[in-house]
Structure 1
Amino acid sequence: MQLRVLGCSGSDLPGHNLTSFCIDDTILLDAGSVTSSLDLAAQARLEHIFVTHSHLDHIKDILFLADNLIEFFTAGSRPPVQIHGLPEVLDAIATHLLNDTIWPDFTVIPAESPVLTYAPMTPGVPVVIGDISVVTHPVNHAQAASGYVLWQDGGAKNIAYTGDTGPCDSFWQAMDALPFALTHLITEASFPSDLATLAAVSKHLTPRLLRTELNKLRARPGIFIYHMKAPFAAQIEHELEHELAGYSYRLLREHDVITI
């Protein structure tokens, strides 16, 4: 299993792509910077999008991806791209974006072979795609926000992704209850610790809060940090050196490739 970082920033600025990760060329975790990162041939290989929540920085390129792929569907030659997520998240996308007001509804275009389809998930119930299993668990962020765990080979290869989250005991409990030892974890540090009040209101983490969260986890996976707000990146990086002392961690960057 290979994960490619298309975007991992909490800010939309030059040189900072919004959140999206591509797995084995066919699966996306979130879709904040897909069409600006992948050429058309790579976009056409995508088959599944797993959405953590309905905030725009995690879903906006679903719209442009659908528009770019329309030519591949006019002949009815391939199945639709499946958008996976909790029902409330999919309903928000359908109601507020793919609604023929903000953007065409590509779940019915073209009529004979739509580009997109919704695939509601149930927490704790795996979706199997080839040899990869994917399960979702709720987190503490936007309405119906959730993270994901992906694994192969009975869990010998695995990675968890919190998505955006504030403190959330239940997610860490679910990670420790997995039938295999968690080895890789993508999680966030959006704000510096002196902005803890802002982090609490927006349901994000600071380096200090992240350390508190990781202390709840019995497993000791390798940590990958994403979603730093660009104006505070240097301060967050400095704080992480102190707060995550003793942990194996790495700051994600665009174009990074992680082999699981």
Structure 2
Amino acid sequence: MFFRVLGCSGSDLPGHHLTSFLVDDTILLDAGSVTSALDLAQQSRITDIFVTHAHLDHIKDILFLADNLIEFFSGKNRPPVRIHGLPEVLKSIADHLLNDTIWPDFTVIPEQAPVLAYHPLVPGTVIQVGDLQVATCPVNHARAASGFVLWSEDGKHNVAYTGDTGSNGPWWDFLNALPFPLTNLITEASFPNSMEELARISKHLTPKLLRAELERLTVRPKIHIYHMKSPFSAQIQEELQRDLAGYTYHLLREKESFYF
């Protein structure tokens, strides 16, 4: 499973791009910085987008991706790019973004071969996408937010992605019940410990809160941290060194890639 970081920041600033990960060159996990990170040929290979929740920093480049791909669909027999998410998330995108007011509705454009199609997910149900299996489970963040697990048929290559999340018992129960030992986990640490109240209100994590969540797991995967708010990045990193003692973790960086 080839994994590329297109954006992993909790802040939209120069040199800090919003959340989006590319798997096997064809699958997007969220779409916060796709069109600024990939050239047109690379964008044209995307077949599936898995959306954790409908906050703008995770979905905005669905709009620009659809606009860029129109030439690959017009007059051609190509299946639409599938947008996967819980039904309420897809409804938010349809009602508030792809609504012919904020942006054209590319689920009906071009008429004979639309660029996009909605594919609602059922929590816990496994679907096949290429060579990978994917399942979703709700998390504690925005309305109808969920995380995803992707794995190879034998389960040896796998990664779980919380998306943005606060404290969330059912998610960890879901991971503990997987039929294979989880080896990689992408999760967040948005705020420093001194801002714990804000983190709880906004349903995010601090290093201290993250440690408490990880203790719910029955295995110890490698932890990949994303979504640090850039103004507090140095402080968060210092606290992670202390609060994640005993865990193997990695701070995700834009433009890096590796195999899971």
Give the TM-score of the pair, scaled to structure 1. 0.99
Q: Secondary structure of the residue that 1:136 maps to in structure 2?
A: strand
**Aligned 8 A contact 2:133 2:153 in 1:** no
| Cα-to-partner distance string for 1:120-172 (whole Å, 9 max, x where unaligned) | 00000011012200000000000000000000032111000000000000000
**Paired amino acid for 1:32:** G
- Note the C-alpha offset of 1:187: 0.2
- Note the C-alpha offset of 1:76: 2.2
**Does 2:100 align with 1:100?**
yes
- Note the C-alpha offset of 1:95: 0.2
| Separation (CA, whole Å) in 2 of partners of 1:258 and 1:239 | 25
| Separation (CA, whole Å) in 2 of partners of 1:220 and 1:190 | 21
- Note the C-alpha offset of 1:258: 2.4
Partner of 1:56: 56
**Does 2:218 align with 1:230?**
no
| Separation (CA, whole Å) in 2 of partners of 1:119 and 1:67 | 20
**Paired amino acid for 2:196:** A
**Paired amino acid for 1:10:** G
Q: Secondary structure of the residue that 2:5 maps to in structure 1?
A: strand
| Separation (CA, whole Å) in 1 of partners of 2:58 and 2:155 | 27
Give the TM-score of the pair, scaled to structure 2. 0.99
Q: Secondary structure of the residue that 2:194 maps to in structure 1?
A: helix
Gaps of 5+ in 2: none
Gaps of 5+ in 1: none
| Separation (CA, whole Å) in 2 of partners of 1:241 and 1:229 | 17
Question: Identity of counterpart residues, as a percentage?
Answer: 67
| Separation (CA, whole Å) in 2 of partners of 1:30 and 1:130 | 18
| Separation (CA, whole Å) in 2 of partners of 1:201 and 1:133 | 33
RMSD: 0.5
Q: Secondary structure of the residue that 2:58 maps to in structure 1?
A: helix
| Cα-to-partner distance string for 1:20-79 (whole Å, 9 max, x where unaligned) | 000001000000000000000000000000000000000000000000000011112311
* Dislocated runs of 4+, deviation >2 Å: none
- Note the C-alpha offset of 1:88: 0.2
Q: Secondary structure of the residue that 2:236 maps to in structure 1?
A: helix
- Note the C-alpha offset of 1:110: 0.5
- Note the C-alpha offset of 1:191: 0.2
